[in-house]
Amino acid sequence: MTGKRTALAGGVVGALVVVEGTSGVLQGYYTPLLTDIARELEIHDADINWFEAAQLLLSSIVVPVLARLGDMLGHRRVLIASLIVTMIASFALAFAPSFPLFTAAWALQGFYVVWLPLNVAIIFARARQQPDSAALTRKGAGTIVVALQAGAILGALAGGQLGAILPLWAALCVPAVLVSIALIVVLLKVPDPGVRGGGSIDTAGTSVLTIALLAIMSGLSLVRVDGVTPWVVGMVLLGVILLGVFVKVEQRVKDPLVDMEMLRSPTLWPVIVTAALFGVSVLGAQGPLSTFARTDPGEVGYGLGLTSATASYLIGAYVLSLLIGAGIFARVSALTTPRFVLIGATALVALGYLSLIPFHDGVAQVVACMVVAGLGSGALVAALPAAAAAASPPQHTGVATGLTNTTKTIGGAFASAAFAIALVSGAAAAGGGESTAGSLSGYITVWAICGGTALVAMAFLFAVPKVAFTSGADALVAEAGVLDAVSGPHGGDDGAPMRAPASRPDDGSGPGETASAEARP
């Protein structure tokens, strides 16, 4: 048993550490350089948020498709394909000459968002033969998320320092080289288990979801040009209506893109909702944090006036707190419960962002607030996909973990668009026509929304059964009044429901495996 655990940690997980470390670099490297990119492209600081909005929109569309393909064709194969697309887009960023082309390359780079759910699914496939598979999955997920956050720290520090000494195009080539290395590592070190889930791609659901999200984001983007108009309202309403149509379509197709029946689980739907609300802060607020740190208080009366190099230290401190939060979540889960960790983490995110509203006048104040938020954010980044994997039927772990990233990116995409509107509208209201800085009222709005959505997520998590994501599967069935997995596409190979096995002592290892689950990685 010990030998198998060591092989899991030192083999596949070790290779995936490289992948997630590279993902972290992508998430941290560009942040100190955003103001320099804005100056190079001759755009307003608020327009930086449209980079993230475009990337997150594309990610929210492709992640469920890629996660489903991972279950069908193999998680390793899809991981390699996403690495190739990300590598090409990363090189394109270094040489994109205009705002539209840079935005398009930035959006395509968003394929890296699927790496984490695919990696967690790979770890789960390797660990599920062990009696404590859920605990091993949480441990593996925590390890790769620590690598992710360590990569983000390294990326933030390296981006700030290299941006100060290299031409911008050369500095932007560095992440592309690292993605190329990660691709080689996966090709050489991550084996294919050779087990597939079967099924097909839900083209109808994908099409409806794509049109719905495009309609909503197009409506929000029009606000940037003409303000709130009947066209804007009409586009957003059309998108919302199409999301309702998407739900109906998913309930009728044989192999849905998003399994609505699975989402009814009392342990899963609060996790997915939390991921969407969490995306507002962890993905939507990073651009505003960077531009606020770079804003010159001598010019507009607020901001920290940092350079790209000094701003990288602030970003590094924030990401270090994410690393710590991700690193301790599995241990705290073992001492308490995974549910307690999720609730506590959302509380920290809310406290950190809401504290920024009164405390933002100096570097020490901003760092302190961001460290508090970062501790909670790091725990959530690691805990959400692991919780989704533990709460889903074995043949849908890729889809379930992918859903946490899909809804997180949707939340981040909408937040990025809303934050862009808030910052630029506030600047116009403040009469800062000649300044490219966002307004203080806009930044306060950003922080209030991030804190508020975290509080809402915490409220939803209280609806999760107390024994969720632990080995007390029988207690979960008794408390929630549902089976561990439902019949039909979620059941065993013969279509019969898979019931939870007899519970073991609660060691935090997760629900036991059933015999019918053995056919699925």
Encode the chain (521 residues) as per-residue pLDDT tens digits.
444 444 444 467 888 899 999 998 998 888 778 878 887 887 776 677 778 777 877 877 787 788 778 877 888 889 999 999 999 999 998 888 788 888 889 989 989 988 887 887 788 777 666 656 566 766 777 788 778 878 877 887 888 788 878 888 888 999 999 999 999 999 888 877 665 666 677 788 888 888 887 887 777 666 656 667 888 788 889 988 998 998 888 888 877 777 777 777 777 888 888 888 998 888 778 778 878 888 888 777 888 888 877 877 887 788 788 878 877 877 787 777 778 888 999 999 999 999 999 998 888 999 999 999 999 988 888 788 777 877 777 666 667 777 787 788 778 777 877 787 777 765 544 444 455 566 788 888 889 999 999 999 999 888 777 655 554 333 333 333 333 333 333 333 333 323 233 333 333 333 333 222 222 22
Measured CA to CA, the distance from residue 148 to residue 145 in angstroms comes to 5
CA distances from 422 to 56, 83, 213, 426 (A): 18, 34, 20, 6
The pTM of the full predicted model, rounded to 2 decimals, is: 0.66
Classify the phi-psi angles of 505: left when phi > 0, otherwise alpha if psi is within -120 to 50, otherwise beta: beta
Residue pair 58/213 in contact by the 8 Å Cβ criterion: no
Residue 380: name the closest of 71, 156, 149, 155 by CA. 149
Measured CA to CA, the distance from residue 431 to residue 442 in angstroms comes to 13
Residue pair 117/123 in contact by the 8 Å Cβ criterion: no
Measured CA to CA, the distance from residue 28 to residue 20 in angstroms comes to 12
Residue pair 414/421 in contact by the 8 Å Cβ criterion: no
Measured CA to CA, the distance from residue 19 to residue 26 in angstroms comes to 11
Residue 92: name the closest of 178, 188, 172 by CA. 172
Residue 437 CB burial class (10 angstroms; 0-12, 13-18, ≥19)? buried
Measured CA to CA, the distance from residue 447 to residue 274 in angstroms comes to 18
The count of C-alpha atoms lying within 13 angstroms of the C-alpha of 58, restricted to the half-sphere facing its C-beta, is: 19
First to last CA, the chain: 19
What residue has token string 């059933």? 514
* 478 alpha carbon, distance to own chain's centre: 32
**Torsion angle, alpha carbons of 464, 349, 316, 408, to 10:** 50
373 CB neighbour count, 10 Å cutoff: 31
